[in-house]
Structure 1
Amino acid sequence: MALPQNAIKTVTLEGVVENTATRQFDPAVLHRMSAPLDLVPSCYDPRPNQSPSWVKTLLESVPERPPSRLPPPGTSQLHGHLATFLGDGRSGIVFALDNVQLDGATPDPRSVPRLVVKIARPNRLAALAREAWFYDEMECLQGSTIARCYGWFEMQLSLDQTVPAWKAHPAEDTTEEDYALENDKIYGTVHPDQLARTARRDVISVLLLEQLGPRMPLGPLPDSAKNDITSLYEDISHLGIAVAEDVRWQNILQAPQYEPCLPSLPSPFTNRVHSWRKIDFELAVKTNLTPWQLSTSYESHLDSMFEDAEEEGAEDP
């Protein structure tokens, strides 16, 4: 039986937090966080003020979050060691975990997949909290369209603790501007918890996620793959979520490739079993646009993404 995504209460990570006084790594004990329902404001376009043609693209209200199908939160404790560096981006750094134990025992790989941690950069705590909110919002797509997410966890650092990964894998964009929160300011009031996070630099914050396969390859893709990837965005559109600002080939990964792995689930909207997954929801927006309008808005972005990947593949020696 697969481990429920809310079964883990605490995560102890080895090799993540360094004690600057002893030059040794301290075990980092991170506790599950819960994103408030109102953490992310919705982009609601009022129907009465719009032209008749545009009104057809709008729902009466922003779609409600589908009811959770998870059992009551569990109390399990997970222990793991930071392993291979897998990649990084604007707001996070991703590592595989090894030597994973659940409640003191090696878990059955048929119930717990290989796991990765996405570590927030010190100035991107709000962005990771926002992404955690979207994983909760898209619980029904976990394991089919997006990765399974086993929680958002945090620990406050002491004055003599630091996270070496922050220095080892610096961001290309070192500005303090948080683009996701700038969007939230446009759509509504930024949640006070998020405002507090923008000033914090003494917290390690991580998402615990199912490990996926490699990135979408560079070069030409068969139409079947393009159609499957396009269908990922159609699934997300059914929840009123727009991710057009971050349509990039780097954010498309293959479904898990290792054995054994948890099975891919059928899409709750199309019943399709995808060979791909969409990642990175830092810039996602919750809207009252119809699924048709959202899917249509992705067409040009997806065409550009496939063209970029093909061109980069042609340039790759």
Structure 2
Amino acid sequence: MFSTLTLTGHNIPEALTLSRAEDFPSHQFDHLKGVYHSKPTWRPSWFPKDAGHLSLTLTDNLSGGRSAVTYAVEVVATNSQEGGITASNPLPLDQELCIKVARPNRCRTLAREAWIYDKLRCRKPGREGWSYDQVPQSDRLQGVIAPHFYGFFVADQVSFPPWATEDFELDRRWAATVDVTRDDRLLDDKLTGSSGGKDCSVWNDWRPDPSVPMLAIIVMSRGGETCKHVDGMDTSTEKDILEILSDLSLASIVHGDLRPANIVRAPVSTALCERHNRIHKWNIIDFSSADIDDYDVEEAEIKGTGHYKAKRALCNLQQRSFGEHIWYA
């Protein structure tokens, strides 16, 4: 766990310091009825206020999209104190990390993705205040089917030099549809007049101010190459990804944008999946379009129950999505 983050590197002449920020809970999506429900119990993720400090150096541009740009980073191993903050290196030295940097008008979307990543710490609800190490290995999804997640950080009124580089140039397909004064609507914004946890979030009515930009990033372990068409045609790859989708479905999460670009070779730090008794070779990333349902995890493993039927329906939906999109790899 980290409370603050320092970012340096190419095109960043002065170190930037960001603070751990509140993420953005969603409404529940009842996929059987096709409607959203208010969930007052779904709150922003818990995190300690005075935890460690992480120092990172920005290196290579890995990828870019309509909402964010992803960079490789290196952990800075130093014990020096600067500005009253002690830099630390609590991660394994061989851990490869990356950061996903939101475009200035897409911080709300990244806050939602951060909330989904935190939900992946454990497939069972009711353990929001538990640290990752406290969660039983058999219940973990983060670091098993998706990268390890190390936090959501923001800084207000900053100058982030890479914004002015070609890294953040918008593809012509998107440029005409981008409104710099607002983030895109999320699917659960359709539910209005509710009193769920989402409605109480600082992000619910957030609007970007181009004159006072916000820097928002998430930190996670770094995977390998994205899934290609030839990978999807391999039976072992198909089996591995279908098992991952089964795990995701058991946690009642619908990815929402399941395409080859969002399936990557698993990081070296990937842990054993006890449900399938294997270390998955692939991980799923980019949960900004994900929806979460709410069925009981233990009941969903018992054939014949309504929860089991809901899980199977959701799993079939995601497997079909994978089968359709792998042809575009």
CA distance in 2, matches of 1:187, 1:44: 12
CA distance in 2, matches of 1:182, 1:109: 33
CA deviations 1:135-162 (Å, max 9, x no partner) are 111113111000000000111124xx24
Q: 2:202 aligns with which of 183, 193, 205?
A: 193
Alignment of 1:233 with 2:245, yes or no, is: yes
Closer, same or farther in 2 for the Cα pair 1:71/1:281, shift >3 Å? closer
Closer, same or farther in 2 for the Cα pair 1:102/1:212, shift >3 Å? farther
Question: Unpaired runs of 5+ in structure 2?
Answer: 81-86, 123-140, 296-309
Question: Unpaired runs of 5+ in structure 1?
Answer: 1-5, 19-24, 46-53, 310-317
Closer, same or farther in 2 for the Cα pair 1:237/1:16, shift >3 Å? farther
Give 1:72 shift: 6.0
Contact 1:78 1:101 in 2 (8 A): no
Counterpart mapping for 1:2-151 below 5 A: 6=1, 8-15=2-9, 25-35=13-23, 39-44=25-30, 75-98=51-74, 100-101=76-77, 103-104=79-80, 107=89, 110=92, 113-140=95-122, 141-151=141-151
3-state SS in 1 of match to 2:109 = helix
Closer, same or farther in 2 for the Cα pair 1:35/1:248, shift >3 Å? same
CA distance in 2, matches of 1:40, 1:10: 25
CA distance in 2, matches of 1:209, 1:41: 24
1:171 paired residue number:
170
Give 1:163 shift: 3.5
CA distance in 2, matches of 1:106, 1:157: 25
CA distance in 2, matches of 1:34, 1:195: 12
CA distance in 2, matches of 1:183, 1:153: 24
CA distance in 2, matches of 1:196, 1:285: 19
CA distance in 2, matches of 1:78, 1:287: 33
CA deviations 1:218-266 (Å, max 9, x no partner) are 42531011110122111111111112x301100010012xxxx43x223
CA distance in 1, matches of 2:152, 2:202: 15
Give 1:195 shift: 3.9
CA distance in 1, matches of 2:272, 2:205: 39
Closer, same or farther in 2 for the Cα pair 1:305/1:125, shift >3 Å? same
CA distance in 1, matches of 2:208, 2:72: 28
Give 1:101 shift: 2.5
Contact 1:78 1:102 in 2 (8 A): no
**Which amino acid is the alignment partner of residue 243 of structure 2?**
S
CA distance in 1, matches of 2:291, 2:280: 23
Contact 2:61 2:71 in 1 (8 A): yes
Counterpart mapping for 1:294-313 below 5 A: 294-309=314-329
**Which amino acid is the alignment partner of residue 281 of structure 2?**
S
3-state SS in 1 of match to 2:226 = coil
Residues paired across the two proteins, number:
272
Alignment of 1:207 with 2:218, yes or no, is: yes
TM-score, L = length of structure 1: 0.75
2:152 paired residue number:
152
Closer, same or farther in 2 for the Cα pair 1:292/1:91, shift >3 Å? same
**Which amino acid is the alignment partner of residue 239 of structure 2?**
N
Give 1:214 shift: 1.5
CA deviations 1:33-61 (Å, max 9, x no partner) are 1326xx2111236xxxxxxxx68x99xx9
Coordinate RMSD, CA, aligned: 3.2
Contact 1:77 1:103 in 2 (8 A): no
Give 1:81 shift: 1.4
Contact 1:235 1:267 in 2 (8 A): no
CA distance in 1, matches of 2:161, 2:216: 11
3-state SS in 1 of match to 2:76 = strand
**Which amino acid is the alignment partner of residue 119 of structure 1?**
V
Contact 2:70 2:99 in 1 (8 A): yes
Contact 2:104 2:208 in 1 (8 A): no
Give 1:200 shift: 3.5
TM-score, L = length of structure 2: 0.72
Closer, same or farther in 2 for the Cα pair 1:102/1:210, shift >3 Å? farther
Identity %: 24
3-state SS in 2 of match to 1:197 = coil
Moved more, 94-103 or 112-121: 94-103
